[in-house]
Amino acid sequence: MKIALAQQNYHIGNFEKNTEKIIGAIGEAKRLGADLVVFSELCICGYPPRDFVEFEDFIAECYLAIERVAAHADGIGVIVGSPMRNDAPRGKSLFNAAWLLYEKKVRGVSHKTCLPTYDVFDEYRYFEPGYQWSTIEFKGKKIALTICEDIWNLGDNPLYRSCPMDELIKQSPDLMINISASPFDYDHDEDRVEVIRRNVLKYKLPMFYCNAVGSQTEIVFDGGSLVFDSAGNVTRGLKYFEEDFAIVELEAAFAKKSIAKDAADALVPLDKEMRVAKVNDPERIIEYLTAEGNIRQIHKALIVGIKDYFAKMGFSQAILGSSGGIDSAVTLVLACEALGKENVHAILMPSPYSTSHSVEDAETLSKNLGNPYEIIPIKNIYESFLSTLKPVFKDSPFGIAEENIQSRARGNLLMAIANKFGYILLNTSNKSELATGYGTLYGDMAGGLSVVGDLYKMQVYALARYLNLHRRVIPQNILTKAPSAELRPEQKDSDSLPSYEILDKVLYQYIEKRQGPKEIVSMGIDPVLVKRILRLVNANEYKRNQFCPIIRVSCKAFGVGRRVPIVGKYLT
C-alpha cells in the first residue's frame, strides 16, 4: 500500500481555498499511484478555528467542504480533519474528528480523545472528548487513527485519563496514522520526534504523522511530518516551515530488525540532556536561548509568521519606525526578507534627544537593504505638544510624560501613514521590554503585528548576528552601542532596567519555566533584584493586554497562551 502525506498551509475559514488545496493534493496522489492520502488536523476549516465553531453556519460549511472533497475520493482513500457534530444528548455539540473518505463516502471517523487546554490550546472549550475507540479498516489493513495530542499520552501523562492507543492496540492494528496541528516553538520539535518514536517503540507499529505548516496570526506551524518504521527509525521526513508532499510504501515501514523494549530511553538525544542542563543552570540560560540552532529555527518561523499574516489578511506592504536600534533593525531585515524590500517602508523620526549616529545607522541600514525610507523629525510636533500642555503642566520638571509624548508622536505619524496608504505597522518591541513594561502605550507599543515580541533582548542580538553571517546588512554600530530609547539626554536602558544578561535569565525562569521568586533566588540571583523584576512583570499586564498579536516562537509567549489577571496582587 502506498500512503501519501500532504503537508499544507491552510487559512482559517477559507473553505474554498482549503478545499482546492486538498483536492489538488488528492489529484497528485492519484497520479503517483497512492492508495491513501493523509492531511492534517482540522484541515477543512484551518486550525485553530476557536469561537468560529460556535456558529452553526461555520460547521455547515465544514460539512459541505467534506462533501466536495469526498467527490474526489474515488479510487483513493482520503483522511482529513474537520469538526463533527455530536448527536449524543449530553456533552459538547462537536468532536474534533479525523474522517476517512473512500469511494465518495465516509468510511470511518475517529474522535480526538486528549483535548489540550493549556498555553495556546483551548480545545475542551469547544469539543467533546472521544470515548469510543475503533480501528478503521482500509484495503485489508487496520488503521489506528489518532489526532495530534492523542499520541502525547502514552499512559503516563497526568493531564489525561485515557490513552487512545492503549485501547486501539487491543484491536491489533497494522499501522498508526496521526494527523496533527502541532505548533512550533524553539525546543518543541525534538520533543515531538521523541514522542512519536516512543509510540512506535511501545506499540511496535509504523507511524505516519502529518503535521500542519504555516502561520495563523500568532501561532506558527513548522510541518516536519514524519514516517517511522516499526523499529523506531525515521524513514521519511518532510520539510520544515514549507509545504511538502511525499509517498511512502507501507511495507517499507515494517522494519526487519526490532529494538529492545527499553530502547526508548537510549534514543533521547544528548543535546536534549544538554538543554535541560542549560535551562536549569543560570550561567547557561543565555547560552541556550541564543544557541545558533534555536536562532536558525526562530528566523524561519518569523519569516513564515510575517508572510502568512500579510498574505492571509490581504496586505502586501509594511511600515515601521526605524530608530537605529537593534530591535527595529532586526525587524526591518526580517520584513524585507519576508515581504520584499520594496514593500517595507522605514520611517526615521529623530527627536531633540536622538543622537546623530542613530539617524546615520538607520539610514545606512536602509541603504544596505535597499528599502524605501523617509526622515520625519518630530521636534516641532514635540514642542507644539509642550506648548499646548504648558498651562496644565505649569513649571513641573521634565519627566516620563515628556518622554512619552515623543513616543506617541511617532506612533501617530506611523499610523497616519499606514492608514493613508494601506500599510500594516510592524511593532518592534522585544520580550524583555514587554515583560517589564518598558514601552509607551499608543507610542512604541503601537502596531498590527509584533515581530520580535517573543524574543528576549539577548536573543534579538543573537538573531542580528545570525542575519549578518552571509551579508553584513546591520551596521556594526547598531550591534555594539548601548541600547537607549533616546527620550532624554544621555539616556540608556540600563538607567531603568537591570543588565539584559541578568534580566533575561530571570524573565525566562519566571515566564517560560514558571518558577517563583524563591526558586529563582536559589539560583544565586540577588533577591532584591528578583523581587523588582517580578513586580515589573506583573504590574505591567495592563499594557500587554492592549498589545498587538505577537509571533510565537517560545513555549510561553505573551498573548493568548499566557492569561494572568490585570488587577492581581501577586508579586506586585
Q: Are residues 201 and 160 in the same domain?
A: yes
What pLDDT, on the 0 to 100 scale, is given for residue 496? 84
The alpha carbons of the chain give a radius of gyration, in whole angstroms, of: 26
Q: Are residues 248 and 302 in the same domain?
A: no
Of 429, 459, 494, the one marking the end of a domain is 494
The catalytic position among 21, 45, 112, 402 is 112
Active site residue 20: no
Kindly report which listed range (32-36, 268-272, 461-465, 466-470) carries the lowest average pLDDT score: 268-272
520 lies in some domain: no
What pLDDT, on the 0 to 100 scale, is given for residue 263? 35
Q: Are residues 295 and 374 in the same domain?
A: yes
Name the pLDDT band for 354 (thresholds 50, 70, 90): confident
What pLDDT, on the 0 to 100 scale, is given for residue 327? 98
Active site residue 543: no
Q: Are residues 189 and 310 in the same domain?
A: no
What is the residue range of 49's domain? Answer: 2-256
Active site residue 112: yes
What pLDDT, on the 0 to 100 scale, is given for residue 256? 56
| Strand partners for 300 | none
Q: What 8-state DSSP symbol labels residue 509?
A: I
559 lies in some domain: no
Q: Are residues 248 and 292 in the same domain?
A: no
Residue range 149-170, pLDDT digits in tens: 999 998 888 889 889 999 999 9
Q: Are residues 468 and 332 in the same domain?
A: yes
CB atoms closer than 10 angstroms to residue 129: 19
Helix (H) or strand (E) holding 103: none
Q: What is the CATH number of the domain that holds 215?
A: 3.60.110.10
The pLDDT of 190-216, averaged and rounded, is 96
Q: Are residues 204 and 326 in the same domain?
A: no
What pLDDT, on the 0 to 100 scale, is given for residue 209? 98
What is the percentage of the chain residues whose pLDDT exceeds 70? 95
What pLDDT, on the 0 to 100 scale, is given for residue 156? 84
Asked whether the predicted pLDDT for residue 258 surpasses 50, the reply is no
Name the pLDDT band for 280 (thresholds 50, 70, 90): low
What pLDDT, on the 0 to 100 scale, is given for residue 265? 37
Name the pLDDT band for 253 (thresholds 50, 70, 90): confident
Asked whether the predicted pLDDT for residue 558 surpasses 70, the reply is yes
- CA 357 – CA 479 distance, rounded (Å): 13
Of 163, 419, 401, 242, nearest in space to 315 by CA: 419
The pLDDT of 128-143, averaged and rounded, is 97
Residue 207: C-alpha distances to residues 133, 154, 256 (Å) = 18, 14, 15
The catalytic position among 21, 41, 278, 556 is 41
Number of structural domains in the chain: 2
CB atoms closer than 10 angstroms to residue 313: 12
Asked whether the predicted pLDDT for residue 274 surpasses 50, the reply is no
At a CB cut-off of 8 Å and minimum separation 6, what does 459 contact?
289, 290, 295, 298, 430, 431, 504
Of 12, 119, 104, nearest in space to 58 by CA: 12
Name the pLDDT band for 530 (thresholds 50, 70, 90): very high
501 lies in some domain: no
Q: Are residues 166 and 101 in the same domain?
A: yes
Q: Which residue has the cell 535551562?
A: 279
Q: Are residues 297 and 250 in the same domain?
A: no
Residue range 220-238, pLDDT digits in tens: 999 999 999 999 999 999 9
At residue 454's C-alpha, the angle toward residues 285 and 494, to 5°, is 65
The catalytic position among 62, 148, 336, 548 is 148
What pLDDT, on the 0 to 100 scale, is given for residue 255? 65
Asked whether the predicted pLDDT for residue 210 surpasses 90, the reply is yes
Asked whether the predicted pLDDT for residue 306 surpasses 80, the reply is yes
At a CB cut-off of 8 Å and minimum separation 6, what does 379 contact?
350, 351, 352
Q: What 8-state DSSP symbol labels residue 448?
A: S
Asked whether the predicted pLDDT for residue 17 surpasses 80, the reply is yes
Burial class (CB in 10 A: 0-12, 13-18, 19+), 50: middle
Helix (H) or strand (E) holding 334: helix 326-339
Of 494, 518, 535, the one marking the end of a domain is 494
- CA 408 – CA 414 distance, rounded (Å): 10
Runs of H (alpha helix) within 42-188:
56-70, 164-168
423 lies in some domain: yes
- CA 83 – CA 60 distance, rounded (Å): 10
Q: Are residues 339 and 386 in the same domain?
A: yes
Asked whether the predicted pLDDT for residue 383 surpasses 60, the reply is yes
261 lies in some domain: no
Q: What is the CATH number of the domain that holds 404?
A: 3.40.50.620
Of 262, 210, 205, nearest in space to 232 by CA: 205
Of 466, 494, 522, the one marking the end of a domain is 494
What pLDDT, on the 0 to 100 scale, is given for residue 266? 33
349 lies in some domain: yes
Runs of H (alpha helix) within 374-430:
379-393, 400-421
What pLDDT, on the 0 to 100 scale, is given for residue 228? 96
Peptide bond between residue 48 and the one before it cis (omega within 30 degrees of 0): yes
Report the mean per-residue pLDDT for the chain: 93
Asked whether the predicted pLDDT for residue 261 surpasses 50, the reply is no
Q: Are residues 302 and 178 in the same domain?
A: no
- CA 428 – CA 507 distance, rounded (Å): 19
Q: Are residues 318 and 241 in the same domain?
A: no
Kindly report which listed range (75-84, 161-170, 465-474, 493-502) carries the lowest average pLDDT score: 493-502
Name the pLDDT band for 260 (thresholds 50, 70, 90): very low
